[in-house]
Each structure stands twice: as C-alpha cells, then as structure tokens.
Amino acid sequence: MAASGVSQLGTLVPDLINAKSATASIFAILDQKSQIDSSDESGMALEEVKGEIEFNHVSFKYPTRPDVQIFKDLCLNIHSGKVVSYFTSYPVDYSKLFSLFLN
C-alpha cells in the first residue's frame, strides 16, 4: 500500500513544479513597484465628475489567446447617475470590462 502511494506521488511532481513556478510568477508581479503613486497629491483634483460611458462596437481578444473572443461588437451606454448590471458566463469578462471603464 505504501509503495502504491509513493508511485502515485511521482505523477504529481510535474504539477508541483508548475505550481511552484506559477506562484513565483505571481509574487514577481505583486512585488513590482507601481508607476502610479497613490499618495501623490499633486495635480488637479476634480470636486465632482459626471459623465456617460459609451462603448461602440468594441471587440477584444487577449493576445496570448487569440482563439478566445472576450468581446465582439460590444455596444454599451451608461448614463450618468444610473446603475447597470452585467451578466456573463465567463468571469474574465467582468475584469476586462471593469478595466475598460477605468481607462
């Protein structure tokens, strides 16, 4: 029984190596210093911002996954002061849409 467990452990070694590499990559990204200094108070601060968000025929694919279409011909208008909901079956779509809002 112990020999069986040891032999099965050998099949997990490649996954453990990949996990270690992925973890190192994530920490390397998290350890990077941001180019944006959030404590810097210089520049103009707006007291109130009102506006509309409008996307016209936006299409997007990640460069590393050109076979996966994230947005195709997305048209969206969000009027100032309104609340909207966005539903999708792919969680990655939420983060991409949010980053488009921020930009």
Which stretches of 1-103 are DSSP H helices? 2-30, 91-102
Q: Report domain extents, the chain.
A: 1-32, 53-102
- Chain position carrying tokens 């810097």: 40
Lookup: tokens for 44: 């103009």
Q: Are 93 and 70 in contact, with CB atoms under 8 Å apart?
A: yes
Tens digit of each residue's pLDDT, the chain (103 residues): 556 666 777 787 788 888 888 888 888 888 888 777 778 888 787 788 788 888 899 888 888 888 888 788 888 888 988 887 777 666 656 677 777 666 6
- Beta partners for residue 64, in sequence order: none
What distance in Å separates the CA atoms of residue 77 and residue 57, rounded to the nearest whole number?
Answer: 11
What distance in Å separates the CA atoms of residue 74 and residue 32, rounded to the nearest whole number?
Answer: 33
